[in-house]
Amino acid sequence: MKKIILIGRSGSGKTTLIQALRGEKIHYHKTQYVNHFDVIIDTPGEYAETKNLGAALAMYTFEAQVVGLLASATEPYSLFSPCITPLANREVIGIVTKIDAPHAAPRRAEQWLRLAGCTTIYRVSSYTGEGIGDILTHLKEDGDRLPWEPEGGTNHGIQRNHENKPGA
Ligand SMILES: Nc1nc2c(ncn2[C@@H]2O[C@H](COP(=O)(O)OP(=O)(O)OP(=O)(O)O)[C@@H](O)[C@H]2O)c(=O)[nH]1
Ligand SMILES: [Mg+2]
């Protein structure tokens, strides 16, 4: 699995997303996944909210292959300035969280992430599991087998039905 670092304001759902990505409700194949799911870097929201601490985040992105910028569908304003993604010398994806929440506005959050420079954006709910499998699929590398893929199978075996995905 590619290593991802999650960045977003405090309360945007980073830690909860990590729990959903780790899929506590399902059984992973230990030999393939025990380390792979230790490749998510959680960061405190305060780092993204403070100019000086933001520099620390920039350093941590070097530890990851993919940077995940989070914006919750319930956020009243965006933390991210326009066109910031080129600042990270890594692939940057956008993740809209909390799409299940009452009064969620996922389209607005997605537009903010696009403005920040993200071209690939996933909408997820860590509560219902919607979209979680899509992020895992994005992070998959050759030789990785995701939990819903058959043993010895190929990519053709991926089921897009999120009922079979972690957290569902
Ligand atoms: N409705 C809903 N609430 C969520 C979801 N994900 C997280 N939350 C809630 O949002 C709150 C903040 O979630 P955290 O995962 O702690 O947020 P964080 O980004 O790690 O926050 P910091 O550690 O302070 O930076 C908690 O009360 C979660 O239960 C979601 O998918 N849907
Ligand atoms: Mg947290």
Q: In the chain, what are the domain boundaries? A: 4-164
Nearest ligand 1 atom to the CA of 104 is 1
Residue 159, pLDDT score: 44
Residue 91, pLDDT score: 96
Q: Whose CA is nearest to atom 24 of ligand 1?
A: 10
Measured from the alpha carbon of residue 7, the closest ligand is 1
**Is any ligand 1 atom within 6 A of the Cβ of residue 106?**
no
pTM to 2 decimals?
A: 0.85
pLDDT tens-digit profile, the chain (168 residues): 899 999 999 899 998 898 888 875 444 443 333 334 567 888 888 888 887 777 778 888 888 999 999 999 999 999 899 999 988 889 999 999 999 999 999 999 999 999 999 999 999 999 999 999 999 999 988 888 887 787 765 554 444 444 444 444
Residue 25, pLDDT score: 47
CA atoms within 13 A on the CB side of 87: 16
**Is any ligand 1 atom within 6 A of the Cβ of residue 98?**
yes
Nearest ligand 1 atom to the CA of 127 is 31
Residue 22, pLDDT score: 82
Measured from the alpha carbon of residue 106, the closest ligand is 1
Residue 146, pLDDT score: 82
Residue 34, pLDDT score: 32
Q: Does domain 4-164 have CATH number 3.40.50.2300?
A: no
Length of the chain: 168
Q: Which residues of 102-141 are buried (b: 16+ CB within 10 A; e: fewer)?
A: eebbbebbbebbeebbbeebbbbbbeebbbbbbbbbbbbe
Probe ligand 1: pick from 7, 9, 10, 16, max atoms within 8 Å of CB?
16
Residue 154, pLDDT score: 52
The rounded distance, in Å, linking the Cα atoms of 48 and 12 is 11
Measured from the alpha carbon of residue 57, the closest ligand is 1
